[in-house]
Amino acid sequence: MKRQNWMKWMGAATVLMWVMIASVGQAAAGITMSAPRQVQVSAPVITIGDIATVVGDNPEMVQRIQEVSLGNSPILGASRSIDKTYLEIRLRQNRIDPNDIAMLVPETIDITRKTVEIPKSRIERIALDYLEPRLPWDRNKTRITLASTSDVVYLSDEDFTAEVSLPNRTNLIGSVPLLVRFFVKNQVERKLWVTATISVESPVVIAKQAINRRQVITEDMIDVIAADLAKLPSNAMTDMEEVVGKRALRVINPSEVLRTDLIELPPLVKRNDIVTIVAETGALRVSTKGEVKENGRRGDRIRVMNLDSKKEVFARVVDPTTVRVDF
């Protein structure tokens, strides 16, 4: 009895095995899909044809399977995994029975995007090539350091172009933002900001001692040192000759940088001074004495009273004893 049962079980198992072999053989004879464990793609959207090889006797069905979309490719520099179950789901969603296909694929397929890596050194070179010809400063006294928002850029093709731009009205000193855009096939594929720190060595006039308000500045009161122009006020004085002979508008502390708003030319003439009023036109020159009614520096136009006519006129200061009437 036991022997008969065993023989029946063996017969059923044999039949089942041959049915499975026949079904696999039928699928294999129809359409076969095979894929490696790791795949690299270049298109922004993945299809089965991008990650697997599909062959079979029915060209139309092969093409349908190849064109089944699997969604977006991973972003540049990243990866994405697709498992066998997902492939079967996508096939069914496209009205293709995965049981009709011999699925010779791993349980998981790792997908990466074909990329070209642009290293930090090349990004910096692109920024410098744009920046250096535009600098108004002496290159030997200029130092540039760069910092980007990314140490590497991934592009889909090595055939690319890069464009650099500056925000409007950007001074090329101190912290300077640069926008770098990478184009592949005339389309912007990546963009990032690069910050250039531009230091310029420049002479600057400083006070060697305290200078009192309205005190006329002499050469022994000041000194010239080298400093970073980016850290100086825009109206810092850089030439000692432009400072000597002027007077302080307020107290200037030792080591303080002299600026144009801290000094002024002392008046050449003061209120109640007696000066010569000169009027010239062509070969005619007339002069008379006048009394200054307000303080004036060289070139200032001030009120002066003609002592002969007792009338006030406007004249321009020439020197401590002369003013000239403009015609």
Alpha helices in the chain (DSSP H): 2-30, 48-51, 59-66, 84-93, 120-131
pLDDT digit string (tens) for 164-190? 999 888 889 999 999 999 999 899 999
pLDDT digit string (tens) for 188-211? 999 999 999 999 999 999 999 999
Tokens matching residue 1 = 């009895």
pLDDT digit string (tens) for 39-76? 999 888 999 999 999 999 999 999 999 999 999 999 88
Tokens matching residue 259 = 């600026």
Measured in Å, how far apart are the chain's first and last C-alpha atoms?
A: 143
| Amino acid making up residue 160 | F
Distance CA(213)–CA(171), nearest Å, equals: 33
Report yes or no: 292 and 278 within 8 Å, Cβ to Cβ.
no
Distance CA(139)–CA(238), nearest Å, equals: 18
Question: Per this entry, what is the length of the chain?
Answer: 327
Give the predicted TM-score (pTM) of the model: 0.59
Question: Who's near 282: CB < 8 A, 6+ residues apart?
Answer: none
Report yes or no: 144 and 128 within 8 Å, Cβ to Cβ.
yes
Report the candidate in 223, 319, 225, 221 with the shortest Cα–Cα distance to residue 277: 319
Q: Please report, for residues 164, 180, 288, the alpha-carbon distance to residue 184 in angstroms, rounded to integers and kept in the order given.
A: 15, 13, 80
Q: Please report, for residues 81, 101, 252, the alpha-carbon distance to residue 24 in angstroms, rounded to integers and kept in the order given.
A: 27, 9, 96
Tokens matching residue 94 = 């496209």
Burial code (b: 16+ CB inside 10 Å, e: under 16) for 218-244 equals eeebbeeeebebbebeeebbbeeeebe
Question: Who's near 208: CB < 8 A, 6+ residues apart?
Answer: 220, 221, 222, 223, 254
Pairing label, strands 108-113, 38-41: parallel
The pLDDT confidence band at residue 80, using thresholds 50, 70 and 90, is very high
pLDDT surpassing 50 at residue 242: yes
Distance CA(236)–CA(323), nearest Å, equals: 32
Count CB neighbours of 313 within 10 A. 17
Provide the pLDDT for residue 18.
Answer: 39
Report the candidate in 185, 247, 190, 181 with the shortest Cα–Cα distance to residue 217: 247
DSSP state, residue 284: E
pLDDT surpassing 50 at residue 14: no
Report the percent of the chain where pLDDT is more than 90.
73
Strand partners, 288: 277
